[in-house]
Amino acid sequence: GENVEQHPSTLSVQEGDSAVIKCTYSDSASNYFPWYKQELGKRPQLIIDIRSNVGEKKDQRIAVTLNKTAKHFSLHITETQPEDSAVYFCAASYNQFYFGTGTSLTVIP
Amino acid sequence: NAGVTQTPKFQVLKTGQSMTLQCAQDMNHNSMYWYRQDPGMGLRLIYYSASEGTTDKGEVPNGYNVSRLNKREFSLRLESAAPSQTSVYFCASSVWGGSTDTQYFGPGTRLTVL
């Protein structure tokens, strides 16, 4: 099956700085790459996604880039705020979702 | 519109006991999923149901059974709980279950097996 690796496992940034989380995947058949945010004790919630026919997608302060050749995709959060503090999961999908192991982001006020 | 709901929120079992986790969605979605979330492991798919009347194994199905009761409800059963099944269980649903279909998660059930 698919293997998704996510780095870093923890990330601390100062408020207003940018944060970048990277994921790699192994199966070239994967064609959908969602990113989920999970606050402590809450359910995962979709924040942005990208399909394999697109290289980049942006939604306000959040952007995702995809490099199909290298099989990696990244989440970029600009102008970080304390409410961005959470665990972020990437996933890759071709017949089912395979999730990365998560990145705990802390934004320091 | 409650979205995806799960019961119970918390459960403590002794080794060997059985229980059923319940999941329901009111979004008229065709596909439903059960995941488990363990520290440092992310979310792993246990079973899924692409449509009413069908179920399939995911990445970690051993020790579990599922029932797609109707279009709205998808239950997960532990016949003989083991400490290794201590985890947070999430149910999810999607419109049609395709590889590019967004999944919406329930609030989770925190299960402890002693």
pLDDT digits (tens, 9 = 90+) for A73-106: 999 999 999 999 999 999 999 878 899 999 999 9
Mean pLDDT for the stretch of residues B34-60:
93
8 Å CB contact between A33 and A93: yes
B112 vs B1, residue with greater confidence: B112
Classify B14 as helix, strand or coil: coil
Classify B40 as helix, strand or coil: coil
Per-residue model confidence (pLDDT) at position B100: 75
Classify B85 as helix, strand or coil: helix
pLDDT in tens, B77-97: 999 999 999 999 999 999 987
Yes or no, beta carbons of B99 and A42 under 8 Å apart: no
Nearest of A36, A34, A15, A49 to residue A86 by alpha carbon: A36
Partner A contacted by B34 (CB < 8 A):
no
pLDDT in tens, A43-52: 999 999 999 8
From chain A, pick out residues whose CB is under 8 angstroms from the CB of B43.
44, 89, 91, 97, 99
Per-residue model confidence (pLDDT) at position A7: 97
Q: Which two tokens stand for residue B64?
A: 């579990």
8 Å CB contact between B111 and B23: no
Partner B contacted by A96 (CB < 8 A):
yes
| Residue B18: how many other CB atoms lie within 10 Å | 10
The residue behind tokens 């995941």 is B35
Yes or no, beta carbons of A6 and B42 under 8 Å apart: yes
Partner B contacted by A60 (CB < 8 A):
no
Partner B contacted by A102 (CB < 8 A):
yes
Question: What percentage of chain A carries pLDDT values higher than 90?
Answer: 89
- In the DSSP assignment, the letter for residue B80 is S
Yes or no, beta carbons of B107 and A34 under 8 Å apart: no
From B41, B58, B105, residue closest to A101, measured CB to CB: B41
Per-residue model confidence (pLDDT) at position A94: 83
